C-alpha cells in the first residue's frame, strides 16, 4: 500500500512540493483539493506531470464509500473501504445545529468489550491520521450541497465523535495527529470543542491527552460503578481501576477546564436497578461531569440484553433526582444497525457464506 497525502499537515505538504521542485503555491492548490475530498487525479489546478509524480508514491484516494445505508430518521451509515481492502464504518447524524460524524480509529479493536461488535474479530490494524481524516473528507464531499460556512472552509460535517471502531487512545500518535490536522486552519476546520473522544479508560494516555492542551470533549465508557462488575463486560477494567479513571478525569478538567462525560450503557440484569443508580450517584455527585445513558444495541454474537424505554427513563429519573447531570441518548439509526461494528461484521459474514 502506498503512502497517503492526507497524513501530511499543510507545512509538510509545502516541504514535499518544494522537494519536488515545484513552486510553493502548488502546496496550497494540493491542500485545498485534498480537503475538498478530491482524489489526486481530480485536482484540476495541478499539472498532469505533478499529479503523475505524486501518484508514483501516494494513493490516488485512500478511502472510498463502499456502501451507504439510509435510516428513516435521516441517519446515514457508511461502510468505508481502504486501499488495502480493509473495512471500517461510520455514521452521519443530522441535527438542527449541524451534522455530526462518528469516525473509526482502528480496523477492529482489541479491547474486548462485551457490548460492542467492533471487538468480535480483534484488532486488524491501526488507521493513520489521514485515513481517519479521509472518512470526514469523503462525507463532506458527498454532502457538498449541505455545507455551511464561507468559501473554501465550507463543510457539511460540523461535529466529530471518535466513537466508531477502535479505541482512540490505543492508537494515540495517529489520533493526536488527526486532531491537529482536523482543527487546523484552512482544512476541515472542526473546532476542538466540537470533537468528542470516547475511551474505555486507558489511564496513562488520558493524562497524556490532558497535557496536549486540546480542549475536546473527553468521554469515558464507564458502564458500572465497581471494578468487579465493570470487568464482566470490559476486560480493560482489570488493568485500570475506576478510582484511577476518576483521578485522570479530574486532572483533565484541571488542565483543560472542560467537564468530562461518562457513557453508561444500560444492560438488563447488570447495571440498571435502583441500587446501581444510587451507587452511580454516590460515585459521581459533585464532580464536573455529565452522564450519557445509552440503550444497549444488542449484538447477536453476545448474550447481553437491552432494557425497555420505561426502565431506561426510570433510571434517568433516579440520577436526576440524585443530583447528577444526565441524559438518555436518543436512539437513531436503529433500522440500519446503528451500533458500531454491526455493519462491518454482517458484511464480512455475508462474504464468507
Across the range 205-226, mean pLDDT stands at 97
Neighbours of 251 (CB within 10 A): 16
Q: Given pLDDT bands bounded at 50, 70 and 90, which one contains residue 338? A: low
89 is catalytic: yes
Across the range 104-133, mean pLDDT stands at 94
pTM of the model: 0.93
Q: What is the pLDDT of residue 192?
A: 96
Comparing CA positions, the residue from 76, 116, 71 lying closest to residue 93 is: 76
Across the range 149-174, mean pLDDT stands at 86
Q: Give percent of the chain above pLDDT 70.
A: 90
Give long-range contacts, CB 8 A cutoff, 24+ apart: 172-175.
172/205, 172/208, 172/209, 174/105, 174/126, 174/127, 174/128, 174/129, 174/132, 175/105, 175/129, 175/132
What is the distance of C-alpha 191 from the center of its chain?
Answer: 15
pLDDT digits (tens, 9 = 90+) for 27-47: 999 999 999 999 999 999 999
pLDDT at 242 over 80: yes
Of 14, 59, 89, 270, catalytic: 89
289 is catalytic: no
Comparing CA positions, the residue from 239, 195, 245, 240 lying closest to residue 220 is: 245
pLDDT digits (tens, 9 = 90+) for 81-112: 999 999 999 999 998 888 999 999 999 999 99
Neighbours of 36 (CB within 10 A): 17
pLDDT digits (tens, 9 = 90+) for 277-314: 999 999 999 999 999 999 988 776 667 888 899 999 99
Of 113, 249, 272, 340, catalytic: 340
pLDDT at 149 over 60: no
Give the N- to C-terminal CA distance of the chain in Å, as an integer: 28
- Which residue, chain included where needed, has cell 474486548? 112
Q: What is the pLDDT of residue 155?
A: 76
Domains of the chain in start order, with CATH, are 5-57 (1.10.150.530), 63-352 (3.20.20.70)
Q: What is the pLDDT of residue 353?
A: 47
Amino acid at each position: 500500500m502506498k503512502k497517503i497525502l492526507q497524513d501530511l499537515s499543510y507545512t509538510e505538504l509545502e516541504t514535499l512540493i518544494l522537494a519536488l521542485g515545484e513552486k510553493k503555491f502548488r502546496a496550497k492548490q494540493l491542500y485545498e483539493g485534498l480537503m475538498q475530498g478530491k482524489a489526486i487525479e481530480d485536482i484540476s489546478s495541478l499539472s498532469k506531470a505533478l499529479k503523475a509524480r505524486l501518484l508514483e508514491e501516494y494513493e490516488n484516494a485512500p478511502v472510498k464509500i463502499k456502501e451507504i445505508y439510509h435510516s428513516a430518521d435521516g441517519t446515514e451509515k457508511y461502510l468505508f473501504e481502504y486501499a488495502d481492502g480493509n473495512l471500517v464504518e461510520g455514521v452521519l447524524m443530522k441535527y438542527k445545529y449541524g451534522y455530526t460524524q462518528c469516525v473509526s480509529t482502528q480496523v477492529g479493536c482489541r479491547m474486548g468489550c462485551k457490548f460492542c461488535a467492533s471487538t468480535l474479530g480483534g484488532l486488524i490494524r491501526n488507521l493513520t491520521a489521514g485515513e481517519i481524516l479521509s472518512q470526514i473528507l469523503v462525507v463532506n464531499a458527498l454532502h457538498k450541497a449541505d455545507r455551511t460556512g464561507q468559501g473554501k472552509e465550507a463543510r457539511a460535517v460540523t461535529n466529530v465523535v471518535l466513537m466508531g471502531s477502535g479505541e482512540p487512545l490505543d492508537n494515540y500518535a495517529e489520533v493526536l495527529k488527526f486532531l491537529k490536522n482536523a482543527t487546523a486552519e484552512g482544512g476541515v476546520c472542526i473546532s476542538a470543542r466540537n470533537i468528542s473522544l470516547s475511551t474505555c479508560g486507558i489511564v496513562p494516555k488520558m493524562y497524556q491527552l490532558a497535557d496536549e492542551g486540546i480542549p475536546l470533549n473527553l468521554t469515558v465508557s464507564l458502564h458500572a460503578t465497581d471494578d468487579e462488575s465493570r470487568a464482566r463486560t470490559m476486560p480493560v477494567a482489570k488493568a485500570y481501576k475506576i478510582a484511577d479513571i476518576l483521578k485522570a478525569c479530574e486532572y483533565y478538567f484541571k488542565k483543560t477546564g472542560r467537564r468530562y462525560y461518562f457513557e453508561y450503557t444500560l444492560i438488563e440484569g447488570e447495571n440498571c436497578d435502583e441500587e446501581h443508580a444510587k451507587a452511580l450517584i454516590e460515585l459521581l455527585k459533585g464532580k464536573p461531569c455529565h452522564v450519557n445513558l445509552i440503550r444497549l444495541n444488542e449484538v447477536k454474537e453476545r448474550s447481553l440484553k437491552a432494557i425497555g424505554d420505561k426502565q431506561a427513563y426510570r433510571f434517568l429519573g433516579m440520577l436526576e433526582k440524585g443530583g447528577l447531570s444526565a441524559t438518555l441518548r436518543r436512539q437513531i439509526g436503529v433500522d440500519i444497525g446503528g451500533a458500531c461494528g454491526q455493519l462491518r461484521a454482517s458484511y464480512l459474514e455475508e462474504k464468507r457464506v
